[in-house]
Structure formats: C-alpha cells, structure tokens
Amino acid sequence: MSKPSFIRTNFVVMKYVLKFCPKFILFAIVHIIASVAKTFSKVLLISKAIEVVIKTQSIDDVYKLLSSLLIYVIIIIICSLINGFYENYISPRYQIIYQKNIQRFLYSKVKIIDMESYDDPAFYDRFTRGCRESSWRGFMTFRQIISFIIHILSAIALGTYIIISDNINSISFDI
C-alpha cells in the first residue's frame, strides 16, 4: 500500500469514528486539554520547586512558592483523574459503540453485494480482513491520532514556556 493510499484510508476511518461516535470527540478534546495541562503543570511544579530551593529569602517567599506548588499538585491530580476516567471508562465504552456500529454498517453493505463476488478469492480475502480488522483498527487509529495531538501540543506548550521564561530570565539578569 502506497503512502497516499494509507493516509487516505486513515482519513476514511476517522470519518467513520466521527460518524458513529460524535460525543466521543468532546471527551477526546477534554482528554487532550487535561493531558497537556498535566504535562505543563509537572514542568511548572519542578521549576517552582527549584525556585524554592534556590531563591528563598524570607518565610513569606517560601509560603507563596509552597502554595503555588500545592496548586500545581492539585491540577496534576485532577488531570490524572480525568485521564484515568477517559482511558478506563469512556474510551472502552465508545470502542464498543464503534464496533457495533461499524459491524452493522458492514453487514448492511453485504446485503447489496452479489453472490458471485464471494466466489472470487481476492474479494473474499479483502472482505474477511476488512470485517475482522474494522472492528478495532479504526478506533485505534483515532486513539493514536489523539495521542499524537497530545504530544505535539505538549511540545509546543513546553517550548513556548522555555522560550518565554528564558527571555524573562535573560532580561532580569541583564539589568
């Protein structure tokens, strides 16, 4: 299978996931936001912890930094709970919904195929592979795309944070 055909097939599969599980998209968006927020909060937690160790001058500074550390820990816990709910409840539930709908769709297509096509070994092989793999491959493709989006957005957020904090630190040291 050539690259453009493979990419086109993935978009067709995504179309069916969107068609059969439209509410799952909302949960996936919440999962993306929670995952990026969790990753970003972990980095902020570490940078604030380093700041507590390096820059503490008064007890008020320590209390301010510890309160921000507590906020980041709470954000991480909430995001972990959201992601756990998504991975352990929402995603398996919608995978079953997708499997039922894609099988119903395929069997509706089977009705219109003439019986002579089943005698062709190449057709029958493609048909059985399609039935066997369609129940899980489409949903897994969707989940991998969601994971890819999470990693890209996390990298962008962390890169932006590094650039901004580096510029702020270089400005404050130049003065």
Q: What is the average per-residue pLDDT within 61-89?
A: 88
Q: How far apart are CA 116 and CA 130, in angstroms?
A: 18
The 10s digit of each residue's pLDDT in 5-26 is 777 777 777 888 888 888 999 9
**Global pTM exceeds 0.75:** yes
Q: What is the average per-residue pLDDT within 123-135?
A: 77
The 10s digit of each residue's pLDDT in 94-109 is 999 998 998 888 888 7
Whole-number mean pLDDT of the chain? Answer: 83
The number of beta carbons lying within 10 Å of the beta carbon of residue 41 is 19
The 10s digit of each residue's pLDDT in 47-70 is 887 877 777 667 777 777 778 888
Q: What is the average per-residue pLDDT within 71-88?
A: 93
* pLDDT confidence of residue 174: 47
More confident residue, 46 or 64: 46
Residue 35, exposed/middle/buried by CB under 10 A (0-12, 13-18, 19+)?
A: buried
* pLDDT confidence of residue 175: 46
Q: What is the average per-residue pLDDT within 110-115?
A: 78
